[in-house]
Structure 1
Amino acid sequence: MKVLLYAQNYSPRLQYICTFIFKEVMGVECTVTCDLEEFKSYNSVRINYSNSPICENEFYILPVDLLFQNNIVPQRVECFKINNHQAFFKIDHADFSFDIFAASFYLLSRYEEYLPHKKDIYGRYAHENSLAFKEGFLHLPLINIWAKNFVAALQNKFPSFIFIQHAFRFVPTYDIDIAFSYKHKGLWRNAVGFLKSPSLERIMVVCGWRKDPFDTYDWMDALHKKFQLNPIYFFLVAA
């Protein structure tokens, strides 16, 4: 099944987010068109993403300006609840309560990271600045949740609309730069390390009286076995 989306103007931002939402998340093809006659004559799932309704049998979303802008400027973001989850870019007189395309683009592109912001001690974008942290959805796959609600709304308008339900699995991955703190580093390296930073812990580990503080592999293996996980380890082994 193919979805046809009409917009008054072509936008790379709109094309990008439509490809993600429809192809990556829903598993369906979506074509963006600016041809009004093509849209009017289309007889399957069609979405009108323009400033006014066009025909009766359409799914209408009133767009905010974000996807049709060519610059990066602060956006007016005011969150509200829909189905117990946060959303923003609220719209009225449409078939969906907010502009899911603009809101998804805002989050997926990390738009706010391109605006002036406070950095952490390593010069990175501090997560405390983010909308997701401030509004309490940093731990949620919010775009996927929105997409699920969007599918339900589309199916209400177009009962024949079929999408692919993806199966997800958790694969823990670990980037291990230093496998052990003291263990397996040899007498010379530990002696030099002790002279630079005297530590009773180092002595006890080297003598075999205490477990290396970085040696958590048995605990991790037990955890993976308990929850039937297949982890992937990346060890930095370059000299």
Structure 2
Amino acid sequence: MLLVYSKNNSSRLNYILKFIFEELLGVKYIITTEKEEYNSFSGAKINYSTDDSLSGLWICSTDLLFSKKIKKQELGIFNSSWGNIIFRTPLNIQIPFDIFS
């Protein structure tokens, strides 16, 4: 069981997590918006937010999966040690882009 923390929950976030974890990897997951629940969880967990103070794997989120409308995205391609990336987050973190977006 994997616990994913996000400040907000959305149908887009649920869709991508279900696709990646359940359909591709066969891993069950739960989303929580409660920091207390996340912090007390002893299993594998992902912090999908802009809050870097939480434990677990931190994936800095961008706004795409929380947007309620379809709109044109300014993608900007950036070079990093991971190769060319879009949806860049601060480059001084372990994963410098939003891998779920």
Q: Look up the match of 1:18.
A: 17
AA at the equivalent of 1:51:
T
Q: Secondary structure at the match of 1:14?
A: helix
Q: Give CA-to-partner distance per residue, 1:115-166, whole Å, 9 cap, x none.
A: xxxxxxxxxxxxxxxxxxxxxxxxxxxxxxxxxxxxxxxxxxxxxxxxxxxx
Q: Counterpart of 1:49 in 2: which secondary structure? A: strand
Structure 1 residue aligned with 2:86: 88
Is it true that 1:78 corresponds to 2:95 in the alignment?
Answer: no
Q: Which has the higher contact order (CA 8 A, sep 6+)?
A: 2
RMSD after superposition = 1.9
The Cα shift of 1:86 comes to 3.7
SS at match of 1:100: coil
Aligned to 1:156: none
Distance 2:6 2:93 in 1: 15
Distance 1:32 1:76 in 2: 28
Residue of structure 2 in register with 1:48 after alignment: 47
| Whole-angstrom CA distance in 1 between matches of 2:16 and 2:100 | 6
More helix by percentage: 1
Equivalence for 1:30: 29
Q: Is the 8 A contact 1:5 1:49 kept in 2?
A: yes
TM-score normalized with structure 2 length: 0.85
The structure richer in strand per residue is: 2
Identical positions, percent: 35
Deviation at 1:85, TM superposition (A): 4.9
Deviations 1:77-135 (A, max 9, x none): 02234567543111124331210111xxxxxxxxxxxxxxxxxxxxxxxxxxxxxxxxx
Partner of 1:66: 64
Q: Which has the larger radius of gyration?
A: 1
Listed as ranges, the gaps of 5+ residues in structure 2 are none
Say if 1:59 and 1:95, in contact at 8 Å, map to a contact too.
no
Where does the alignment leave 5 or more consecutive residues of structure 1 unmatched?
103-239
Aligned residue pairs: how many?
A: 100
Q: Secondary structure at the match of 1:13?
A: helix
1:140 aligns to what? Answer: none
1:177 maps to none
What CA distance in whole angstroms lies between the structure 1 residues aligned with 2:20 and 2:83? Answer: 18
Larger mean CA deviation between 28-37 and 4-13 belongs to: 28-37
Partner Cα distance (2:39, 2:81) in 1: 32
